[in-house]
Structure 1
Amino acid sequence: MPESVEVLISVVGVPLTGIPTSSVITAVQQQDYSASVWLRRRDKLEHSQQKCIVIFALVCCFAVLVALIFSAVDIWGEDEDGITEENCSKDCRVVLVENIPEDISFLNNSTSHLPLSIGLYNLLNQAIRVVEIVSPQWLLNSSDNESTNSTELTKLNAEVHYINMAALTKGNLHSSFWVVDRKHFYIGSASMDWRSLATRKELGVLVYNCSCLALDLHKVFSLYWGLQYKDFIPSFWSKRLFAVSNRDTPLNLTINGTKALAYVSSSPDVFIPKHRSSDLEAIARVIQEANHFIYISITDYLPLIGRNTSRYWSRIDSLIREALILRNVRVRLLISCSEKTHPLTFNFIWSLRSLCMEQANCSLEAKFFNPRVLQFSSIYKLPKTAMSFVFLTVVYFLIGNLDWEGDEFTFNAGAGLVISKLEDIDDRNFTVVEQLQAAFERDWFSHYTIPLQANKFLVCNKHQIKPMVLLKATACEEAGGTLAYVATVATSGIQNSPHTGYHTP
């Protein structure tokens, strides 16, 4: 055999002649090995690049998610005044304020308090840096509309935000409060409407030098402030909106020289960040801890959800029933009687009254407040307050912005203030509750109230007697731009009981 065989072969396009076959095979194997190593390295490189791309995409998604979470509510930066939960002031002064229209007169020796307009003016005089106001309306001039008023505010370098409550909760904004320099505040039933300062009966409290509570109320303001232009409710709230106090951990304060506990509540549930108590939770705590009596003054009492397609809403109604039957707590309900009063209100009050029939130590009294019983003039608005006084253990008062209807707490935005006396404090020293009790009893015993009576039904709402009454109302503009209504009423088969507001067959 020949020692070697010469072949003609081309490796990677290079002609090879005169090379032994074994050498060519070895060279080809080395080339193949190098190519396979290069291919494996390229695969690893591509895999690494893919992993990097995936990791980068995940990091970007996480960054976007974090940005969305923390931008869900537009929160202010660090407080310029440096007020924190650790250094806030707890020695507070509380002043009761109210607006009583000129056509409502009480006895000369009856209780009176600082006029609302003067109180708000005094509060503005305390302002140094910033005034934060939440109001359902802004109409301080009867001849203008809300857009005109907001335009004037903008010209004065005020920042104005609007909340689209219809898109957020299908409800309305009912909260009404001021926060001044995160140190003083007002909360009550009055909105920034000229009627609240003139023709409506309103009640509220001014709180001075109480930055702990003011900071907590400021957090509610900040939540509203960040919801402008939004048509969705954030899934997460910023930590800056977490409550300072709640019903389980209230603030320990000194109010008018007396040791007390206090916290801020709000509604609805979808507007409540961490640690905040809802208005319903606050009301439940006040009623459940009452063991002597409860005084309640409200605009509407209707334990229903939905006025058209209604279903029973028992959250508050059942608590009152438990207090009456199980603990023998004496209850007084003072309810506004106006054209907006739902006819079923009287049915539910009679249902509560029936619980105490032939029951010892069970007492529920109900009266309806209407200073314009036989008139169709400006709409009367009773203060939206709930006051509970409990002797022997704890004394509470709660003031809020919502009527006691299911829809109010489910859809509408409100804020409340709860203050209670410590158990070892003498009742006589807790002047705020004394003042509120005096205001309640003044209204309760006034000649403007109508008691609930057997075999008679109140007519607060003209629609209750629509088949029998023809009403012709003409809007007349008086001097100063206020509206009044001139009513001509023709009755058929109905007699008015003088000065009672009742109709009897």
Structure 2
Amino acid sequence: MKSQQKCIVIFALVGCCAVLVALIFSAVDLWGDDEDGITEDNCSRTCRFVLVENIPEDFSIPYKGTIPLNAGLHELLDQARRFVEIVSPWWALNSSKNEFLMPQAKQGEILFHRLTLLKSRSVSLRVVSGISDSSELNVLKKHGAEVHFVNMTVLTKGQMNSSFWVVDRKHMYIGSAAMDWRSFSTMKEFGLIIYNCSCLVMDLHRIFTLYRQLQYKEFVPSIWSKKLTALYNKDKSLQLFLNDINAKAYISGSPDVFCPKERMKDIEAIFRVIQDAKTFIYISVPNYLPILKRTQIKYWAQIDNMLREALILKKNIKVCMLVSCWEQTDPLTFNFLWSLQSLCMDSINCSMEAKFFIQREQSGGRLYGINHNRYMVTDNSVYLGNFDWVANEFVFNAGVGIVINQQNETNSTVVEMMKAVFERDWNSQYSKTLQANKIPACSNTIKEHTDNMSTPAFFQNSKAWK
């Protein structure tokens, strides 16, 4: 009798193990995707890059070593032979009749029309979106597009903020622009396009595959396919040639739960770039706010502490932060930046300066020319991502970043070219220096808020801008 019971127990355990193994392997099959025979052994490492920007038409800022964003994306469509895979925070390429239109606003409609024609060229269009009900995505579906919805609210209580393209698993775009007509007209955007770089693009495509497989899911898997494991990170960077110059690169991601084995988290990538800087750190972001806002407001120290550590411990370091001054600017932003700036007031070993890019205002109070650039450049590396430097972005939202290290001291490296773009914006007439004074008003909302708040003593009795 006892032997029979033992047999039953053993049989049950074996059965459970078999079911568990089956589930594991089914998960591996579910969460993976083919890569068209591209491997680390046969992929391309000799690559070409271009920097792309959208600068609103009547801004007196010249393109500096860059090309127009719309021209770069059209070139990617020209290169497409098999696949165009796009992730965007939102879709609004066809401008509304009620919107203020500029001549170049048509660029969004032209791009959208070209996307609808991809099927006629036998090119598959695949889209990942966090928007479940989009008229534009419904139109693309009717023209043969494969659209995948990721319910970020359920998965992380966040949003899909990723913005990148993968074309034929060989070419890529990553940057600040969404598939929105304003990104080609009234907004100031910045990004990077890399051609014939299947080694790096294969790794970015793994993030696209991860998003696709999360369609309709209400949980993030605890087991990931090996096909979603990151190929490169800070400890194993891809060795490649960018415009015939040696470079190292890797792709990072957010939030943490979207990062399978070996995938570098965005916050860790930013930390490594700051840590490796020797002489300067230039940062351009729409918003800077080290506060986590949910049911309670908490100080989120990660990036803020990284910068403080760099200013205190690195000798002769220069930090410049260019932040947009617009309707979404939180008044606390100025306090945090002034706090960073005050660390170097009586020091000869560091320099910290903050400036605010002031958008122009059209008739009727319509904002125009907001600087959406999201990047950091140092003397040896760049980080280009999809996020404002705001706590909620990194903790809850989906995004990607790219880190490139290129130390050849020529004007054709990505480091030197992005440095030149930053310095152009930094020295432009639209950038104003924060002074020790009352908080400047970036919008009527902020002005009303700051008029009713107690102003710290160091913000009093001087002009708002230099």
What band does the TM-score fall into relative to the shorter chain? 0.7 to 0.9
- Measured against aligned partners, the alpha-carbon deviations of 1:332-391 in whole angstroms (never above 9, x if no partner) come to 00000001000000000110111112211321111100131697213643234222222x
Where do residues 18-167 of structure 1 align in structure 2 (5 Å cutoff)? Answer: 50=8, 53-54=11-12, 57-67=15-25, 69-70=27-28, 73-76=30-33, 78-80=34-36, 82-106=37-61, 111=64, 113-143=66-96, 147-167=134-154
Structure 2 CA distance for partners of 1:216 and 1:132, relative to 1, 3 Å: same
Structure label with greater radius of gyration: 1
Deviation at 1:66, TM superposition (A): 2.2
RMSD: 2.6
Deviation at 1:124, TM superposition (A): 0.8
Q: Tell me the TM-score normalized by structure 1.
A: 0.78
Structure 2 CA distance for partners of 1:248 and 1:49, relative to 1, 3 Å: closer
Query: 1:454: which partner in 2?
Result: 436
Aligned counterparts of 2:282 and 2:64: Cα–Cα separation in 1: 17
1:311 aligns with 2:291: no
Aligned counterparts of 1:58 and 1:235: Cα–Cα separation in 2: 19
Aligned counterparts of 1:51 and 1:456: Cα–Cα separation in 2: 74
Query: 2:377: which partner in 1?
Result: 388
| Contact 1:369/1:448 (<8 A) preserved | yes
Of 196-205 and 304-313, the range deviating more from structure 2: 304-313
- Measured against aligned partners, the alpha-carbon deviations of 1:170-203 in whole angstroms (never above 9, x if no partner) come to 0111110000111010000011111111111110
Where do residues 16-415 of structure 1 align in structure 2 (5 Å cutoff)? Answer: 50=8, 53-54=11-12, 57-67=15-25, 69-70=27-28, 73-76=30-33, 78-80=34-36, 82-106=37-61, 111=64, 113-143=66-96, 147-306=134-293, 309-327=296-314, 328-372=316-360, 376-378=365-367, 380-390=369-379, 395-415=380-400
Structure 2 CA distance for partners of 1:430 and 1:285, relative to 1, 3 Å: farther
Where do residues 426-437 of structure 1 align in structure 2 (5 Å cutoff)? Answer: 427-428=409-410, 430-437=412-419
Deviation at 1:266, TM superposition (A): 0.5
Q: Tell me the TM-score normalized by structure 2.
A: 0.84
Deviation at 1:468, TM superposition (A): 9.5
| Contact 1:339/1:460 (<8 A) preserved | yes
Please tell me the residue identity of whatever aligns with 1:123.
L
Please tell me the residue identity of whatever aligns with 2:386.
N
Please tell me the residue identity of whatever aligns with 1:323.
A
| Contact 2:285/2:375 (<8 A) preserved | yes
Aligned counterparts of 1:442 and 1:99: Cα–Cα separation in 2: 14
Aligned counterparts of 2:381 and 2:65: Cα–Cα separation in 1: 21
Aligned residues with identical type, % of pairs: 50
Deviation at 1:287, TM superposition (A): 0.5
| Contact 1:266/1:413 (<8 A) preserved | yes
Please tell me the residue identity of whatever aligns with 1:313.
W
Please tell me the residue identity of whatever aligns with 2:245.
T
Deviation at 1:102, TM superposition (A): 1.7
Mind listing any 5+ residue stretches in structure 2 that lack a counterpart?
98-130, 452-461
| Contact 1:74/1:225 (<8 A) preserved | no
Please tell me the residue identity of whatever aligns with 2:64.
T
Deviation at 1:461, TM superposition (A): 3.5
Aligned counterparts of 1:247 and 1:368: Cα–Cα separation in 2: 31
Aligned counterparts of 1:285 and 1:275: Cα–Cα separation in 2: 15
1:443 is aligned, of 425, 430, 437, to: 425
| Contact 2:359/2:370 (<8 A) preserved | no
Aligned counterparts of 1:463 and 1:316: Cα–Cα separation in 2: 27
Structure 2 CA distance for partners of 1:55 and 1:90, relative to 1, 3 Å: same
Aligned counterparts of 1:255 and 1:459: Cα–Cα separation in 2: 42
- Measured against aligned partners, the alpha-carbon deviations of 1:224-269 in whole angstroms (never above 9, x if no partner) come to 1100000111011111000110011100001101001000001111
User: SS state of the match for residue 297, structure 1?
Assistant: strand
| Contact 2:434/2:464 (<8 A) preserved | no
| Contact 1:245/1:276 (<8 A) preserved | yes
Aligned counterparts of 2:191 and 2:31: Cα–Cα separation in 1: 29
| Contact 1:384/1:402 (<8 A) preserved | no
Mind listing any 5+ residue stretches in structure 1 that lack a counterpart?
1-42, 470-499
- Measured against aligned partners, the alpha-carbon deviations of 1:464-504 in whole angstroms (never above 9, x if no partner) come to 332799xxxxxxxxxxxxxxxxxxxxxxxxxxxxxx99499
Structure 2 CA distance for partners of 1:52 and 1:441, relative to 1, 3 Å: closer
Please tell me the residue identity of whatever aligns with 1:75.
G
| Contact 2:440/2:464 (<8 A) preserved | yes
Count how many residue pairs are aligned between Structure 1 and Structure 2.
420
Deviation at 1:53, TM superposition (A): 4.9
Structure 2 CA distance for partners of 1:55 and 1:106, relative to 1, 3 Å: closer
